[in-house]
Structure 1
Amino acid sequence: MSGTPGAPVPAAQSAARAYRPLLRAGVRIGPPLLRGPRTVYLIRHPATGAVSEVGTREHFVISRLDGTRNLDDLAPAYAARFGRRLAEESWNRLLGLLGARGLLDGAPDPPAPASAPAPADTLWRGTRRMVADADAATARLHRALRPLLHRAIQLPLLAAVLAMVLVLALHTGELGDGAAELIRQPVVLGAVALFLWFSITVHELAHGVAAQHFGGHVAEIGLRWRFPAAMLYCTVDDYLFIPGRRAKLVIAGAGAYVNLALLLPFALWWSALPGGDPARPLLAGLLLLGSVQALSNLVPLPPLDGYRMLGHLLGTAHLAPEARAYLALRRTGSEAASAYPRRARLIYTAYGIGSVLLLLLAVAGTCAVALVLLA
């Protein structure tokens, strides 16, 4: 939105100037997000779920549309904030846009956007909705598990998970030997693979339960397959609008946390067995594969959960593509790179360098593990 300096407002007011708009009930406005050189806000329609993106100036006005203010009421505050008066043309244009998108009280719902038809399911890849009402199903699961989500239980459990990860990190050699032994026993390896598949299923449901705990909405639960793998998925469609950074971090990290918590009984069993017990190396192999599965989801690379957590922590939107775009501008010497604020330059540069290092580390680690197992 742009404003222009001008003379005092004339006494005669048009109908648009006198109009005191009110946002539609249930409209949700997200927190500020860094996207490229701009700070943006997401606005969600309560009925259609359509999400709009607006800038700082538009958000300043929209967040004050409570049905008691008109243009003349908002203009002084706008001028004090942005150093220029809110032009009537900009006011009319913004109200027209909000009305067309059905975000004002009394405005009709906008027509549903035409979506491309989903590709037909095949043996090789596809998606199938498994639960008719995913939100109701996860709500029931949340009610059943709610006593376990109390801090008195979760804080000691979190401490136990962190202690387990530390102990396993100190025994990586034994865990690697256990994984090699596990590979030599196909039947046991198949049982471990089944457990890990179950762990992925619980991982997805954990996202949904965490979203329910913080007031989110689970849109869909289904099965996605890419031959020969198949796994459950759980879609939370509004968690970006849940207030509080901590809630978003918990929702994004719930899956990996539950995966690690599922390993706790096996870690206790493994630690209680004497060194010569034949079950100990098999358990060590399970712990290695399970912890790698869980912790790899915390790597801050798309589309992993760690990438979403880093985006929430930094308050950014589309971190990876925006970092690539900024670094490309810098590489070509474009003047557009100078439009980025200092915070954006630091974040995008650090993420670009860090993501390259992570990829190199992941490739090196994969090659090292493969060589050890082959040896």
Structure 2
Amino acid sequence: MTAGPNAFGSSAMLVAPWRTPIGNAGHGFAALTTTDLAAPVLAATLATLRESGCDADVDDVVLGNCLGPGGDPARVSALRAGLGAQVPGVTVDRQCGSGLDAVMQAAMRVRSGEEELILAGGVESASTAPWRFWPPVSGAEPIRYTRAPFAPSGFPDPDMGVAADALAQACGIGRERQDAYAARSHALAAATDFTGEIVPVAGIERDQRIRPNMTQARLARLRPSFTADGTATAGNSCGVSDGAAVVAVTSDALAKGLPALRVLGSAVAGSDPALPGLGPVPAIEKVLRRTGIALSDIGIVEITEAFASVVLAVSDRLGIDENTLCPQGGAIAMGHPWGASGAVLLVRLARQMLTENGPELGLAACAIGGGQGIAMIVERAW
């Protein structure tokens, strides 16, 4: 299908998708900040546009980020990338959905007709995330925390690994099935050449977590990582990671002549904070209703593989054909740089859909701590 002009007369197109390699936290990118990671990808995206003959001004930079130092990493990264002092920047925090939300916000602004070119995506440096402390009370020592609350007092607020175990139990998804899905992710990623979407950074050219020998038999030997009787392990869960991903969000007029995806629709939704892994379900249902597209018509579904139980639970609830899920592997094999992962999904969709005979429609979705989901549907433009 082809989307016609919206109420404002313009489409939002995604072009020039790039990402860094995804690094294991504390390893290849251990000393690199969010700015160090995002700036090269912003520069590569803009360079792709310029090489194509697009000389339009960049209206804004929108980047998702969860655990950076503050100070608006998007603006700092834009300056570092050499975009010029005239290019502003804004940083978005919707936790694991931040990178996808950044692109969603950029797409809405382009569709409105008020903006024509925005660089959007996400970045995360778990390696250099600052230590955070609650201020001391009554003379007590300050208390370090690793994440802010996802929900207020009186609501469930489980850590994500604990929530993944609870989700698996609630949905009847056993360890063997999770390990089988994880083995598939590892094997698919190991068999894929990602070179065409990667901007080398600090001499690193490949994703660091991918292991070609993670068979189901090996995965079965791993112990539970989060609860004593749980089923989520280091092998069927994502790794803590560093990375960045960016796409140019522009009008159909500026995208002419470039390989492009058209944003057909997007949605966010809330869900039970106790089982945040189900967050993508209402978001996907909402965007399908908004666009009138049938799930069966979508050729690729990229869901952030935070945990095998999450992807399988969402797939079971919606009846997704498992063959369309992350067909080149996902975060279980590659890693999950939280604020960037939603944008990584779009880079992955673009690189698969824009090949010869690539699928016409794709869906990206993320589960978000605290019980939220975000989803976007894109189509191959021409």
> What TM-score bracket applies, with the shorter chain setting the length?
under 0.3
Of structures 1 and 2, the one scoring higher in RCO (CA 8 A, sep 6+) is 2
Q: Whose Rg is larger? A: 1
* TM-score normalised by length of structure 1: 0.25
1 or 2, which has the higher strand percentage?
2
